[in-house]
Amino acid sequence: MKCASCKDKKCYKGKDCTEIKEEAKADYTKNKENLEIMKVASTIEAKYYMKLTRIEEIIEFAQQRGYKKLGIAFCIGLQNEAGALNKILSKYFEVYSVVCKVCGIDKNDFSLDKLHDSTKLEAICNPIGQAKILNKKKTELNIALGLCIGHDILFAKYSQAPVTTLAVKDRVLAHNPLGAIYSRYYYDVLRTLKGAVSNDFI
């Protein structure tokens, strides 16, 4: 599949370019949770299109699903944002939040590269720990807030509850990674890169 390069997008009008249509439909119908999530998602899109922010959509989604417990897995660099989000969500739900540095595990334990060249302890980001703590709290929906690339992958992998992303880490573009596409300069740079990204920027 090369959908990103397709100019027609006739699937929008019902065309099937695949061999998995019936298989995919079966996955929505044979798994009750899958279909219920799709129904709520479709309701929110149809009823609140261009009316709700993403935070409001998360609240609406969780309420329609009947969730009582929400989890926030956040980066320590976004602790202010996490605090604000916690205050908002706590009006509606029982909220648990876990910072990325939880457990204080030393990078030296795994021979990991350090941000600061120091012999002092530098704690790892611990997405598996974040997921395990929220699993123990039996959260019903977890929100990833500003987790680094790779850490977000591990968090989603180990979370027992469904995961939605409110923001991802992008230190260069104020946590707005699409800015690299919206900015003519960044887009031109990225479009002409050759080989490893780091080599082109050195």
Retrieve residue 57's tokens: 């959509």
* Separation of alpha carbons 153 and 144, rounded Å: 10
Q: What is the DSSP letter of 12?
A: G
All structural domains of the chain, each given as residue ranges with its CATH number in brackets, are: 69-169 (3.40.50), 175-202 (no CATH)
CB atoms within 10 A of CB 37: 16
Retrieve residue 51's tokens: 């009316």
Question: Residue 125: what residue type?
Answer: C
Burial 101-121 (b: 16+ CB within 10 A, else e): bbeebeeeeeeeeeeeeeeee
With cut-offs at 50, 70 and 90, classify the pLDDT of residue 152: very high
Q: What percent of the chain has pLDDT over 70?
A: 96
Q: What is the DSSP letter of 123?
A: B
Evaluate if residue 122 carries a pLDDT over 70. Answer: yes
Retrieve residue 138's tokens: 């039996």
pTM over 0.85: yes
CA angle, 168 as apex, 99 and 64 as ends, to 5°?
A: 85
* Separation of alpha carbons 167 and 54, rounded Å: 10
Three-state DSSP at 69 gives strand
Q: What percent of the chain has pLDDT over 90?
A: 78
Evaluate if residue 79 carries a pLDDT over 90. Answer: yes
Three-state DSSP at 95 gives strand
